[in-house]
Amino acid sequence: MKSIRKILSGALIAATFLGAGSAQALGLNGAGATFPYPIYSKWFYEYNQSKGVQINYQSIGSGGGIRQVIAGTVDFGGSDGIMQAEQIQQVKGGIFHIPTVAGAVVVAYNLDVPKLKLSPDVLTAIFMGQITKWNDSAIAEINSGIDLPDTNITVAHRSDGSGTTNIFTNYLTKISAKWASQVGQGTSVKFPKGVGGKGNEGVAGLIKQIPGCVGYVELAYAIKNNLNFASIKNRAGNYITPSEEATTAAMDGALSKMPPDFAMMITNAAGANSYPISGFTWLLVNQTYNDAAKGQAMVEFLNWAMGSEAQRMAEELHYAPLPSSLIKKIKAKIATIKY
């Protein structure tokens, strides 16, 4: 299997030359979530090579993607957060949430302790600013046998509107009444403490640079940056290491409750092997496209992304492919897009 660095660098470097030989090639423009950027970069490059359609994507965060969809300045958006009803109402013709892959939001840290475990209570206390040292007794109690240093904890979080933040805070809201009442969930919240970074890239950079730093990023960014990340105690009481398989288990634990619009969070899902901070990422696409050529191109790409080849690419980049039962329902929804 290719390493994530080779896949990412190949896709991103080659992306510079997309459409170089066909100035008149049909193009689609999108913007939004950084969470799926590694797989979207790969997909858009491969799709251009095989179909000749150039797809440009600005990795600006889910909040920015939603704003551009509402403004009508892009052909599609990317988000790890569900658009609110009042936001959807601002989009003429309506919006579909099309799941593309699922991924894990990991708690990454800059500490020479490769196999740290964190419980929901301890994780919440860290991000609330109540636990400030890595050798705190609450952390030591669930990491017996590990020599924890007397190092200050610096919390890193997103400074921009972020679907990754939405997944992370959705989880904390579910497992902590105090977090729910004092901070809440959303693409942008006021964190009790910490430093902010723009995009998953920015948070990963802060964690890498600051000794003792802890923050939340999508799994691919942690692996790309050689960051340690914690196993998190799930709803069944098991400490689960983030992985594609554990994210798939979270999907399996939630799919029976999937609504027809696919707008569903899968944090704190049931299942012995479910990683609790998992989430879908969606492409936000118009229900009706006034430009027939772009509408057709969008539909054709979405169907391609649901195919086995594209879903295998996702797995190579540490995302969880969608289950076939869900893909069948998504294709039926794609078929209703008008243009």
CA distances (Å), 72 to each of 8, 38, 83, 299, in order?
Answer: 29, 25, 15, 18
State the total domains in the chain. Answer: 2
Give the model confidence (pLDDT) of 25-76 as tens digits: 689 999 999 999 999 999 999 999 999 999 999 999 999 999 999 999 999 9
Structure confidence by residue, pLDDT tens digits, 231-271: 999 999 999 999 999 999 999 988 889 999 999 999 999 99
Do 154 and 78 fall into the same domain?
no
Which 3-state string (H, E, C) describes the chain?
CCCHHHHHHHHHHHHCCCCCCCCCCCEEEEEECCCCHHHHHHHHHHHHHHHCCEEEEEECCHHHHHHHHHHCCCCEEEECCCCCHHHHCCCCCCEEEEEEEEEEEEEEECCCCCCCEECHHHHHHHHHCCCCECCCHHHHHCCCCCCCCCCECEEEEECCCCHHHHHHHHHHHHHCHHHHHHCCCCCCCCCCCCEEECHHHHHHHHHHHCCCEEEEEEHHHHHHCCCEECEEECCCCCEECCCHHHHHHHHHHHHHHCCCCCCCCCCCCCCCCCCCCEEEEEEEEECECCCHHHHHHHHHHHHHHCCHHHHHHHHHCCCECCCHHHHHHHHHHHCCCEC
pTM above 0.85, yes or no: yes
Residues 201 and 294 in one domain: no
Is 61 inside a domain boundary? yes
The verdict on residue 270 lying in a domain is: no
Same domain, 168 and 222: yes
Residue where a domain stops, chosen among 257, 291, 323: 257
In a domain, 269, yes or no: no
pLDDT reported for residue 22: 38
User: Does some domain include residue 275?
Assistant: no
Give the CATH number, domain containing residue 114.
Answer: 3.40.190.10
Q: Is residue 268 part of a domain?
A: no
**Whole-number average pLDDT of the chain:** 93
Same domain flag for 93 and 113: no
Question: Is the same domain home to 192 and 291?
Answer: no
Do 109 and 97 have their domain in common?
Answer: no
274 part of a folded domain: no
Look at residues 224, 257, 290 and tell me which one is the last residue of a structural domain: 257
Both 78 and 118 in one domain: the answer is no
Which structural domain, as residue segments, surrounds residue 46? 4-101+281-334
Please check whether residues 244 and 136 belong to one and the same domain. yes
User: Could you give the CA distance from residue 240 to residue 231 in angstroms, rounded to a whole number?
Assistant: 5
Provide the β-strand partners of residue 152. 133
Residues 90 and 55 in one domain: yes
pLDDT, residue 93, reads 84
Same domain, 109 and 253: yes
pLDDT, one tens digit per residue, over 287-312 is: 999 999 999 999 999 999 999 999 99
Check whether residue 132 and residue 224 sit in a common domain: yes
The reply to whether 276 falls in a domain is no
| 131 is a domain residue | yes
Say yes or no: 15 and 131 in one domain: no
